Amino acid sequence: MPKNLAKTNNFSITFVSMNRVSKSEVIAKLQRDILCWEGFKPAKAIGAGLIGLGPVEAAFPNQIFPVGAVHEFICATQEDAAATGGFISGLLKTLMKNGSGCLWVSKSRKLFPPGLSLYGISPDRILFVDVNSEKDILWATEEALKCQGMAAVICELGEVSFNQSRRLQLVCERSKVTSFIIRSDPQKITQTACVARWLVTSIASQTKGDLPGVGFPRWRAELLKVRNGNPASCEVEWSKGKFKVFQQQDAVEASVKRKYA
């Protein structure tokens, strides 16, 4: 093929490159290009595979967990809320590795701060703000998200409207700070502007052999909805200071998707 044609035609460049790279790499590049042509603006992301969630992490666009965006967690029961708090603590371990702090806003905080040490986080690196109304939670969350030095802002809400989530998402995109919204009333789930919607439930831990006691924390993490990505789920364990996938599920259960997606 003439060299001048390869320099002036993008498709020709792609054709020539196929001799040097694998077919999967070419397809992956085309998928990224299509997302850009559709107007998708990728969120700031950390390195691939650093979170340790395996197939769930790979379900995000470009297979990278997005930061500088809003993640929504659905909690059907108080037990789910407790499991979600532990799971988010594991995520914070990676987000706070550069020494940044976090803000946790709620009106009935359920997290036990000393328990953060299990995830390698010193409780004094998280500022807990307890307020009297959800209106105050939204205001404090939005103001905290404007602080670019924050690693993340976590808030506990009963519900959030599309406009409210859109407002928080826009602030995240400007400041590049990640936000986690813990929603405690799944009966009022509506469409939101959040980048991802999660459902985290606890599962029984296991000990080695027949030893009595309690093993490492375990969760079933389901990514119900992700912008420009695919639903996925897996079962993970927190051990040795990181997530460890021990069972991958092929797809999110259809009943759960119909209810929450």
Q: Which pLDDT value is given to residue 18?
A: 52
Q: Which pLDDT value is given to residue 1?
A: 47
Q: Which pLDDT value is given to residue 24?
A: 72
Q: Which pLDDT value is given to residue 6?
A: 47
What domains sit in the chain, N to C, each tagged with a CATH number? 60-206+215-259 (3.40.50.300)
> Could you give the strand order of the β-sheet that contains 70-74, starting from the edge strand earlier in sequence?
126-130, 102-106, 152-157, 178-183, 70-74, 196-202, 218-226, 232-239, 242-249
Q: Which pLDDT value is given to residue 71?
A: 95
Average pLDDT, the chain: 81
Q: Measured between alpha carbons, how far is residue 152 from residues 11, 125, 139, 165, 199 in Å?
A: 41, 11, 15, 16, 19
Rg of the chain over all Cα atoms, to the nearest angstrom: 20
pTM over 0.75, yes/no: yes
Q: Are 73 and 88 in contact (CB under 8 A)?
A: yes
